[in-house]
């Protein structure tokens, strides 16, 4: 950031989007469309799409992205560099030409952003060391394992830490771009762009509502495995940890210690996770009332289920059902 002059009033903000082999198309096109739409309402973005070799690139879905500018033709003062991702992020981070381009552009930019697996590229370039960062919920454990100096935030749709902004998976790039527009040109222009694109100005809830992030890795310990199987077989069974441990011929204290050691969560947290998943399935596919779902999933009451849903998913059961049951709006 040092040495980069402030943006003069009325000057277009130069945004560089890095495209590369097998990049996820929506990681690029989503933010690009937001910025182009914002320009219609008073923003001034000068957007450039570049690639390591200066050539068009095939995306993950087979469609090719056309490069608009060769890197040597870019303005020197870059306002924002946006790095998208690809599912096989290790292939991307092993691409020396790509990583050199990301590092070079980031050093010239006032702000660096990533979408989805693009966070892994920023991490590889050392840009996330000591910073909080987001990525797709499925990739969050991989980001944490591969780059232990990164403080991974698994749930937020996007995270800002200093001049670096990282976002969750795929469509979260749209949320990210709207936030950047609001930061640069104010809420009114960002709101107009969101309305035109028919998207949330601020998406309710975090990305955990789309994942099964609470499901632990399969444990190899037979006692914990049996406990997990018992809970999963009937999440509505109103048993405590001591009763479950007695069935397994052990103590509640010993089972709790093993469970946390093997899964990173307590038995109670696992019970809540299984009940949430059961309720999610019932809400999205069945016709039972919220109260009936709460009983069937083992919560006991709709109020208890609502509290757990809000804590775990960031949305209420009613909102979850409305959002995930169908893409068709209910009749007026």
Among candidate residues 113, 108, 102, the one with its CA nearest the CA of residue 31: 113
Alpha helices by DSSP H, 41-114: 89-93, 96-108
Among candidate residues 271, 86, 88, 75, the one with its CA nearest the CA of residue 170: 86
Cα separation of 79 and 163, whole Å? Answer: 11
Cα separation of 27 and 4, whole Å? Answer: 27
Q: Which of 116, 193, 224, 274 is catalytic?
A: 116
Among candidate residues 19, 206, 17, the one with its CA nearest the CA of residue 95: 19
Cα separation of 177 and 195, whole Å? Answer: 14
- Region of 22 please: left (phi>0), alpha (psi -120 to 50) or beta: left
Rg (CA), the chain: 23
Residue 61 bears catalytic tag: no
Cα separation of 168 and 114, whole Å? Answer: 9
Quote the DSSP letter at residue 58.
E
Helix or strand (DSSP H, E) at 304: helix 302-313
Neighbours of 176 (CB within 10 A): 27
b/e map 59-81, b = 16+ CB within 10 Å: bbeeeebebebebeebeebbbbb
User: Could you list the active site residues?
Assistant: 116
């Amino acid at each position: 950031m040092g040495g980069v002059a402030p943006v003069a009033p009325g000057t277009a903000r130069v945004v560089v989007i890095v495209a590369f082999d097998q990049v996820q198309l929506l990681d690029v096109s989503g933010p690009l469309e937001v910025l182009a739409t914002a320009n219609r309402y008073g923003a001034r973005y000068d957007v450039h799409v570049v690639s390591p070799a200066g050539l068009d690139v095939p995306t993950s879905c087979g469609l090719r992205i056309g490069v608009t500018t060769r890197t040597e033709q870019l303005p020197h003062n870059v306002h924002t560099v946006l790095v998208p991702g690809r599912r096989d992020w290790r292939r991307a981070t092993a691409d020396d030409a790509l990583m050199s381009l990301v590092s070079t552009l980031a050093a010239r930019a006032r702000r660096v952003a990533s979408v989805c697996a693009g966070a892994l590229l920023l991490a590889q370039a050392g840009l996330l060391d000591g910073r909080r960062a987001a990525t797709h919920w499925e990739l969050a454990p991989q980001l944490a394992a591969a780059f232990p100096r990164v403080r991974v935030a698994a749930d937020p749709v996007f995270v800002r830490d200093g001049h670096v902004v990282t976002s969750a998976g795929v469509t979260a790039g749209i949320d990210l771009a709207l936030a950047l527009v609001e930061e640069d040109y104010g809420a009114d222009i960002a709101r107009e762009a969101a309305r035109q694109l028919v998207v949330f100005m601020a998406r309710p809830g975090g990305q955990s509502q789309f994942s099964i992030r609470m499901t632990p890795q399969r444990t190899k310990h037979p006692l914990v495995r049996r406990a997990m199987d018992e809970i999963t077989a009937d999440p509505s069974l109103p048993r405590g940890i001591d009763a479950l441990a007695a069935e397994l011929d052990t103590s509640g204290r010993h089972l709790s210690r093993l469970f946390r050691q093997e899964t990173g969560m307590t038995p109670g947290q696992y019970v809540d996770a299984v009940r949430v998943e059961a309720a999610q399935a019932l809400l999205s596919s069945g016709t039972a009332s919220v109260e009936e779902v709460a009983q069937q999933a083992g919560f006991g009451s709709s109020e208890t289920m609502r509290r757990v849903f809000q804590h775990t998913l960031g949305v209420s059961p009613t909102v979850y059902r409305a959002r995930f049951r169908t893409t068709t709006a209910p009749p007026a």
